[in-house]
């Protein structure tokens, strides 16, 4: 596969959320607003990029039988380092993203890409894959978050976009709204694919 294809596959064809259904727990939890979606998406992309690099570098050293626990140790350590460094040197960013960083440990996209891609491919390809998948994840979060924020509070990125007379459908930003919006979007993606 060409490098450009490797990069763009995460956006639609192999979108982590809508097609592979990876990382659904954080997807459902943080898509209450576009701002949150961007924060979670970028933090996950960052960690995914570096964990992919790490895993592809050490893939030869780790025996096959204990690869999963090893990956988890690597990913968890990396997330903790990012959390601590960001908190110490960039407190302003940490205040906005800090909430999402511990959630990334349990985001199965990271482990999923380590297992499905980074341990079989070169460092360069793993970087491209990590970036593409991470941005695809971010894109999916922004789409879901955008729909929920517009329906639920009549805003987009905190700015009013609907007339004042619009009465917000509060359920859209509560938990059920996440399932409904994601389900409908997944359905639409499948409909397009089977056509």
Partner 1 sequence: MKYFLKLGLILLIISVVASGILAYINSITKPLIEENERREKEEARMDVLPEAVTFDSLTVFNKETVYTAKDDSGNIVGYTFIACKYGYSSNVKTMVGLKPDLSINNVKIISQSETPGLGANCIKPEFQAEFADKTENELKVDKDGGDIISLTGATITTRTIANSIKEGLNELKNIILTEEEVTE
User: Which residues in this chain contact partner 1 in the complex, by CB under 8 A?
Assistant: 32-33, 35-36, 62-63, 65-66, 69-70, 73-74, 77, 80-81, 84-85, 87-89, 91, 99, 149, 152-153, 155, 170, 173-174
From the CB of 147, what's the least distance to partner 1, in Å?
13
Q: Which is nearer to partner 1, 19 or 178 (CB)?
A: 178
Residue 143 vs residues 79, 108, 111, 119: alpha-carbon distances, Å: 25, 20, 24, 30
From the CB of 139, what's the least distance to partner 1, in Å?
20
* 90 DSSP assignment: -
Residue 135's nearest CA partner among 53, 56, 44, 52 is 44
From the CB of 61, what's the least distance to partner 1, in Å?
8
**For helices 67-89 and 34-58, what crossing angle results, to 10°?**
130
Q: How many CB atoms lie within 10 A of CB 73?
A: 11
From the CB of 114, what's the least distance to partner 1, in Å?
14
The C-alpha atoms of residue 93 and residue 101 are separated, in whole angstroms, by 11
Q: Which is nearer to partner 1, 12 or 93 (CB)?
A: 93
Q: Which is nearer to partner 1, 52 or 70 (CB)?
A: 70
């Amino acid at each position: 596969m060409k490098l450009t294809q490797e990069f763009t596959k995460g956006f639609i064809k192999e979108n982590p959320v809508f097609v592979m259904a990876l990382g659904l727990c954080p997807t459902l939890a943080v898509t209450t607003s576009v701002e949150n979606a961007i924060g979670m998406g970028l933090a996950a992309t960052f960690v995914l990029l570096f964990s992919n690099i790490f895993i592809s570098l050490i893939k030869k050293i780790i025996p096959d039988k204990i690869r999963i626990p090893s990956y988890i140790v690597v990913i968890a350590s990396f997330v903790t380092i990012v959390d601590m460094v960001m908190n110490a040197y960039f407190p302003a960013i940490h205040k906005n993203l800090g909430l999402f960083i511990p959630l990334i440990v349990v985001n199965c996209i990271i482990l999923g890409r380590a297992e499905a891609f980074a341990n079989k491919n070169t460092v360069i390809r793993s970087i491209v894959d990590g970036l593409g998948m991470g941005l695809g994840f971010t894109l999916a979060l922004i789409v879901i978050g955008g729909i929920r924020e517009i329906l639920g509070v009549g805003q987009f990125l905190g700015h009013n976009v609907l007339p004042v007379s619009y009465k917000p459908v509060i359920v859209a930003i509560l938990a059920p709204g996440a399932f409904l919006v994601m389900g409908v979007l997944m359905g639409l993606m499948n409909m397009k694919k089977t056509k």
